[in-house]
Amino acid sequence: MCRCHRVLCKLALRLLFLQHSVKMVPVHAACALLSLAPLLVLGVPPIWTQPEQVHLSYPGVPGSMVVTWTTFNKTESKVEYGLLGGRLFDISAKGDATLFVDSGEEMRKMYIHRVTLTDLKPTATYVYHCGSDDGWSDMFSFTALNDSTSFSPRFAVYGDMGNENPQSLARLQKDTQLGMYDVILHVGDFAYDMHEDNARVGDEFMRQIQSIAAYVPYMTCPGNHESTYNFSNYRNRFSMPGQTESLWYSWNLGSAHIISLSTEVYFYLKFGQELLFKQYEWLKKDLEEANKPENRAVRPWIITMGHRPMYCSDDDQDDCTKFDSYVRLGLNDTKPPAPGLEDLFYRYGVDVELWAHEHTYERLWPVYGDKVYNGSKEQPYVNPKAPVHIITGSAGCREKTDRFNPNPKEWSAFRSTDYGYTRMQVVNATHLYLEQVSDDQYGKVIDSIWVVKEKHGFSAWF
């Protein structure tokens, strides 16, 4: 019994006593007070107009940024912002709210707000808050992305981070506050899982990453842990470029063309086999466009991110442990057979492929067709003859880290079961730097490579 209920009961009993002893208060008055107790216990639902779960994404258009947030009652969608050091909230932008009804038992409703900020000055820092006159968020800041092709963007890269045991999160928060990243790449698997407890786990995870994602664009791709209710929590909560509900898209930054894709179309055919072929055709067209001489000249690096790897040496029987990996080689039991991605990426000269799913870190030698194609014995990543694969799925979740097969294939160059995440910098048209941070070893860099390419595209393999 809650405190207010006890107080009402005592008051009602006292009134009953007075009614019998002094004949002053009628019995029905005391009964009326008792009848109010359940109302006070059950209460009425609170009004939720306060913005939360604030995060940024880059819509792929220079000089712009998308702000996304959640409320649980309908409100206007506004962002007020201004240049750091200038007049606060000098500029205002409006957007729209979309009703998202989770498919869990409670059918919980939430409103996802999206506002696009435009005409931002490259490299300028802006202060903003979001919401409406019914409630404003905390004050955040971000730096508008540099739209120059000579820009050297810095990324944090990881997948498989959950609400429970997000071991790398505190270090990532601190890195972000130190200004170490221009963009975050989350390579699938969020919250574990966003739909659980009628999507409350998803809400709490989005609150957790707000400390990063409200300050730096948080770019995503879907993983297998988003699959419930046809990926509805993922498709509704994030705001990536293009018109595919964040399932696949591409964008440019510095000297890189970055492609985000869904490996899950190879595994969840129940949600539509046509998605697999639709994505493949889109990938082909996107890669063709990126390889036009005038485009590849200014954005020579092509980097992909997808959740399930083509290769891995974990001891768990996942798709990437098999020679005939679906992602790598496709599916033969569909009509028509579904093509895999390895030949496509090789043919169009994809330079670096970022993966997650395995709760480990693994760096591969340049590999194609299950064979190693190093640039040279002494300098394997200088003018490599095949794409470079990085698996970074050890950010931390309730499933802990995975184990490795004690006898990896020859393409496995370095591996670690430490919790951690990857840093990447596209330095210029010829140099790209990658390093792995171990959270278990207090932020120590346990692996690093320079990928050096004097030539990009299919012809670079020969």
Domains of the chain (ranges, CATH numbers): 48-147 (2.60.40.380), 150-460 (3.60.21.10)
Pairwise pLDDT comparison (48 vs 7), residue with the higher score: 48
pLDDT band at 52 (very low <50, low <70, confident <90, very high): very high
Q: What is the mean pLDDT of residues 133-153?
A: 98
In 3D space, the residue among 398, 108, 396 whose CA is nearest the CA of residue 237 turns out to be 108
Q: Sorting pLDDT into bands at 50, 70 and 90, what band is 29?
A: low
Please write down the HEC assignment for all residues of the chain: CCHHHHHHHHHHHHHHHHHHHCCCCCHHHHHHHHHHHHHHHHCCCCCCCCCEEEEEECCCCCCCEEEEEEECCCCCCEEEEEECCCCCCCEEEECEEEEEECCCCCCCEEEEEEEEECCCCCCCEEEEEEEECCEECCCEEEECCCCCCCCCCEEEEECCEECCCCCCHHHHHHHHHCCCCCEEEECCCEECCCCHHHHHHHHHHHHHHHHHHCCCCEEECCCHHHCHHHHHHHHHHCCCCCCCCCCCEEEEECCEEEEECCHHHHCCHHHCHHHHHHHHHHHHHHHHHHCCHHHHHHCCEEEEECCCCCCCCECCCCHHHCCCCHHHHEECCCCCCEECCHHHHHHCCCCEEEECCCCCEEEECCEECCEECCCCCCCCCECCCCCEEEEECCCECCCCCCCECCCCCCCEEEEECCCEEEEEEECCCCEEEEEEEECCCCCEEEEEEEEECCCCCHHHHC
Q: How confident is the model at residue 44 (pLDDT cuts 50, 70, 90)?
A: confident
Rounded to 10 degrees, the C-alpha dihedral 153/55/124/426 comes to 0
Give the rounded percent of residues in the chain with a pLDDT score beyond 90: 90
224 pLDDT exceeds 80? Answer: yes
Confidence of residue 338 (pLDDT cuts 50, 70, 90): very high
Beta bridge partners of 279: none
- For residue 26, what pLDDT is reported? 54
Mean pLDDT of 270-280: 96
Using a pLDDT cut of 70, give the percent of the chain over it: 91
Mean pLDDT of the 42-58 span = 90
pLDDT at 35 over 70: no
Cα–Cα distances (Å) from 97 to 58, 76, 116, in that order, read: 18, 7, 12
- For residue 413, give both structure tokens: 């160059």
Kind of pairing between the strands at 125-132 and 78-83: antiparallel
Q: Which of 28-37, 129-138, 187-196, 250-259 is least confident?
A: 28-37
pLDDT in tens, 400-411: 999 999 999 999
Does the pLDDT of residue 39 top 80, yes or no?
A: no
